[in-house]
């Protein structure tokens, strides 16, 4: 049996080898499930009458012949049977008829477009040096000023910065949250990554396990000061940049040692607190008393400070956002000291229950939640929900 599997794998890899200098079309998997945007990390390459299927590491895992993306109604690989629901000059929407867990049908068995996956057609660009990209990434600490989208938690008032260190087989990320220039809290996570190229198009992908798919980014530029990428993981495609930071790798590793870890168990989608019982076990009165302890005295305003966050499947919290309002629910700003104090206190709460969904039609392992603190002249008088 093992010999058969090895032979099959070698056959696929040899079949995927294609060194002829012929033009091809590359389609990058972006997300599936239109209202949840769960990453779909696959690539399809059309070359002549053959289609090649690549995984998130850039490895060709299958191929099929006598298919054309521009004409076929269905594309059959060994483990994926794509029914094409829609296509245009720039994208392809498919439904995997062999995956009944992630691609759900209507009751009559017909594909439900809501659960389909979108592929983005990629235009050619300037040729880059793959080895140089790998070298530059590993030689510096990179800073990314996070561009938020519909995958992010609600946030109006925090600036979010990531410091990124690529090593040989893993990437370490420190996420720093700033309010009015003051760093309030930080969190750390590590995951695997791959840099690869398909027909002179270059990609960066992250991996956190088969059960937690991560997006694939296209690399469009690289030098010693900046890495330019395109992110297709939300409805609006966005260009992002990793800029070389001034801190050394040793300084970064020291920060890692002093930064608490946090990672979503499932980055593709977080449920909402009202779907599951994720109420803080000690109650809101405890939270109010705990946060009021040593509360800065330099604030006299009244209003609401709302801390947004995720609760992961272990009951840990992270991925913060901040919204502030006055008593008329209008935009407001409170002092750096009181905002920093409240966020820090909330980040240390550790008595939330694990959040994995028990609802069959709503798959998630993490929950988006919030705590709204009511302030009367700078003192917390109530917490909800």
Beta carbons of 109 and 97 less than 8 angstroms apart: no
CB atoms within 10 A of CB 295: 17
pLDDT of residue 325: 97
Report the DSSP beta bridge partners of residue 44: 27, 53
Query: Does the pLDDT of residue 1 top 60, yes or no?
Result: no
Task: Please provide the average confidence, as pLDDT, over all residues in the chain.
Answer: 90
Higher pLDDT, 17 or 364: 364
pLDDT of residue 124: 85
User: pLDDT digit string (tens) for 168-193?
Assistant: 889 999 999 999 999 999 999 999 99
pLDDT of residue 67: 76
Rounded-to-integer distance, Cα 350 and Cα 127, Å: 49
Q: Does the reported pTM lie above 0.75?
A: yes
Domains annotated on the chain, with CATH: 2-122 (2.40.128), 130-257 (2.40.128), 270-384 (no CATH)
Which tokens hold the place of 183?
């760093």
Cα of 5 vs its chain's centroid, Å: 33
Query: Does the pLDDT of residue 338 top 70, yes or no?
Result: yes
Which residue in 37, 48, 81 sits closest to 62, CA to CA?
81
Rounded-to-integer distance, Cα 300 and Cα 375, Å: 9
Rounded-to-integer distance, Cα 242 and Cα 342, Å: 30
Rg (CA), the chain: 23
Rounded-to-integer distance, Cα 12 and Cα 8, Å: 6
pLDDT of residue 363: 74
Q: What's the rounded mean pLDDT across residues 210-227?
A: 94
Higher pLDDT, 6 or 382: 382
pLDDT of residue 365: 86
Rounded-to-integer distance, Cα 372 and Cα 385, Å: 7
């Amino acid at each position: 049996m093992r010999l058969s599997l090895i032979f099959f794998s070698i056959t696929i890899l040899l079949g995927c080898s294609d060194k002829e200098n012929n033009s091809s079309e590359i389609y990058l998997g972006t997300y599936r499930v239109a209202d949840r945007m769960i990453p779909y990390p696959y690539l399809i390459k059309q070359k002549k009458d053959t289609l090649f299927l690549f995984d998130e590491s850039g490895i060709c895992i299958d191929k099929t012949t006598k298919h054309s993306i521009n004409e076929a109604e269905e594309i059959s690989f060994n483990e994926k049977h794509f029914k094409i629901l829609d296509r245009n000059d720039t994208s392809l929407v498919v439904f995997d008829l062999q995956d009944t867990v992630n691609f759900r049908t209507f009751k009559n068995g017909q594909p439900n477009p809501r659960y389909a996956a979108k592929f983005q057609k990629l235009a050619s660009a300037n040729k880059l040096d793959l080895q140089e990209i790998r070298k530059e990434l590993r030689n510096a600490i990179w800073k990314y000023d996070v561009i938020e989208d519909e995958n992010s938690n609600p946030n109006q008032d925090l600036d979010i910065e990531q410091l990124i260190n690529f090593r040989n087989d893993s990437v370490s990320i420190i996420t720093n949250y700033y309010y009015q220039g003051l760093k309030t809290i930080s969190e750390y996570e590590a995951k695997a990554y791959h840099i690869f190229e398909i027909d002179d198009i270059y990609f960066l992908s992250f991996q956190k396990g088969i059960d937690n798919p991560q997006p694939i980014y296209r690399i469009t530029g690289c030098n010693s000061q900046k890495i330019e990428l395109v992110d297709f993981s939300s409805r609006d495609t966005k260009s992002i940049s990793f800029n070389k930071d001034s801190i050394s790798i040793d300084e970064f590793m020291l920060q890692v040692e002093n930064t608490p870890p946090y990672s979503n168990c499932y980055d593709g989608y977080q449920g909402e607190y009202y779907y599951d019982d994720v109420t803080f076990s000690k109650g809101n009165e405890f939270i109010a008393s705990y946060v009021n302890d040593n509360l800065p005295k330099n604030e006299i305003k009244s209003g609401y400070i709302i801390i947004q966050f995720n609760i992961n499947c272990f009951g840990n919290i992270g991925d913060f956002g901040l919204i502030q309002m006055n008593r008329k629910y209008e935009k407001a700003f409170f002092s750096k000291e009181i905002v920093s104090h409240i966020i820090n206190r909330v980040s240390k709460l550790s008595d939330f229950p694990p959040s994995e969904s028990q609802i069959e039609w709503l798959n998630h392992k993490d929950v988006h939640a919030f705590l709204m603190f009511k302030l009367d002249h700078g003192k917390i008088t109530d917490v909800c929900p």
